[in-house]
Amino acid sequence: MSWSAHGELIEVGERHSTPPGRGCGCGRQSRPYTVARMSLRSAMAHRNLLYLLSLKELRTRYKKSVLGWAWSLFNPLSQMLIFTVIFIYVFKASPPIGDPGGLKNFPLYFLSGLLPFNFFSVSVGVSIGAVQGGAGLIKKVQFPHEHLVFSVIVAQFVTLMIEMIILTAAMLIAGNQVLPWLPLFFIVMVFLGLFSTGVALMLSAANVFYHDVNYLWGILSQILFYATPIIYAPATIELGVLKLLANYGPTGSFITASHNILYDLRVPGIGRLAQLVILGVGTFALGSWVFNRLSPRFAEEM
C-alpha cells in the first residue's frame, strides 16, 4: 500500500479485508483497555497513514467552496448572533458573570461552550459514515480500519484550534486574560478528543450494520445541545434532575470545565477533572473494544 502525491491511496501487494492482529474475531477477546493500548500503538505505528488521511479530510472538507475554511468560523458566529438576539433582546436575560474573572459577555460565554461542543458533535457525526464511506479501501487494502475515524477526529481538532485563535483574540479584546489558561484548556480538549473518539468508534462500527445510527445521531445531538450548558448557566436551572444533567452529564461536564477555564478564569474542581479523565479514557477504551470486535465483519457487510 502506498500513497500518491495528492494523498490518494494506491493498492500494491496483497489484498486483505482484515487488518493485522484482528483475525476472524474468534478465540480469546482482549480486554477494553488492552485493545485501547493496541489502537494507540497502531496509530503511532501507522502515523504517516493517519497524517495523510487527516490531510485529505482537511483538504476535501471545503473543496470547491468560494469561502473555504471561512465556513468553519461562520457557522458558530451565526449561531452566536442568533442566540445572542434571543437571549438578550427577546428574553431580556442577563449574561453570566465570570467567577472570579468578572467577565459579563453572553457571546463569549456562548462561544466558549459552543466550540468544544461542536468539536464533539461534528467529529462524531462525520465519523459515523467514515467506515462505510471507506468501503472501497477496506475491501481491497490492508490497513487499520480505525484510522478512518481517527483522521476525522484529528481534522476536527485542527479546526477547533483555528477557531480558538479567534475566540482567544476576542477574549483578550474584552479584557479577559485567557492566555495563561490555554494549556489547561488544551489538556481538557485532549480528554474530550478521547471521549469523542470512543463514541465515534462505537457508532461508526454500528452504522456499518444499522444505517439508522446516522439518523438517530442527528436527533440525539440536538437533545445534547440543549441539555448542555451552552446558552445558559447550570445555576439558573431549578429542577434538580436537569441541573444535575447539565452539570455532570458527559457533554455538560466538559463544557462546564471549558467555561470555568476560558470564561471564569479558574481551575475546575478536582472531582470534575477526575470525571473528565475517566470519561475520556474509559469511553475510548470501550469504543476501541467494540470497534475491534466488529471490524472483522466490515468487509462482508459492505
d(CA 200, CA 197): 5
Confidence of residue 238 (pLDDT cuts 50, 70, 90): confident
With a cut of 60, say whether residue 249 has pLDDT above it.
Answer: yes
**133 within domain boundaries:** yes
| pLDDT at 235 (0 to 100) | 86
DSSP conformation letters of 65-89:
-SSGGGHHHHHHHHHHHHHHIIIII
With a cut of 80, say whether residue 222 has pLDDT above it.
Answer: yes
Q: Which residues of 271-295 are buried (b: 16+ CB within 10 A; e: fewer)?
A: ebbebbeebbbbbbbbbbbbbbebb
Tell me which residue has cell 483475525. Answer: 23
**6 within domain boundaries:** no
Q: What average pLDDT does this structure show over 247-265?
A: 95
**38 within domain boundaries:** yes
**147 within domain boundaries:** yes
Angle between helices 250-258 and 270-294 (to 10 degrees): 130
d(CA 124, CA 153): 8
Q: Which domain holds residue 282?
A: 28-301
d(CA 281, CA 198): 9
**44 within domain boundaries:** yes
**39 within domain boundaries:** yes
Number of domains in the chain: 1
**Window from 172-176, 194-198, 237-241 with minimum mean pLDDT:** 237-241
d(CA 39, CA 298): 17
Which residues lie closer than 8 Å to 102 by C-beta, 6 or more apart? Answer: none
d(CA 173, CA 170): 5
Q: Copy the grid coordinates of residue 107.
A: 457571546
Which residues lie closer than 8 Å to 177 by C-beta, 6 or more apart? Answer: 265
Q: Apex CA 151: angle with CA 134 and CA 123, to 5°?
A: 95
With a cut of 70, say whether residue 45 has pLDDT above it.
Answer: no
With a cut of 90, say whether residue 216 has pLDDT above it.
Answer: yes
**1 within domain boundaries:** no
Q: What average pLDDT does this structure show over 147-161?
A: 92
CA nearest neighbour of 36 among 228, 281, 218, 236? 281
Is the separation of the CB atoms in 147 and 47 below 8 Å? no
* Strand residues in 20-167 grouped as ranges (E): none
Greater model confidence, 59 or 276? 276
d(CA 125, CA 218): 8
Q: What average pLDDT does this structure show over 239-262?
A: 93
**11 within domain boundaries:** no
> pLDDT (tens digit, 9 = 90+) per residue, 87-136?
888 888 888 999 998 999 999 999 999 999 999 999 999 999 988 887 77
| pLDDT at 173 (0 to 100) | 94
Amino acid at 22: R
Confidence of residue 186 (pLDDT cuts 50, 70, 90): very high
- Using only C-alpha atoms, the chain has a radius of gyration, in whole angstroms, of 20
Alpha-carbon distance values, 149 to 174, 197, 294 (Å): 37, 7, 14
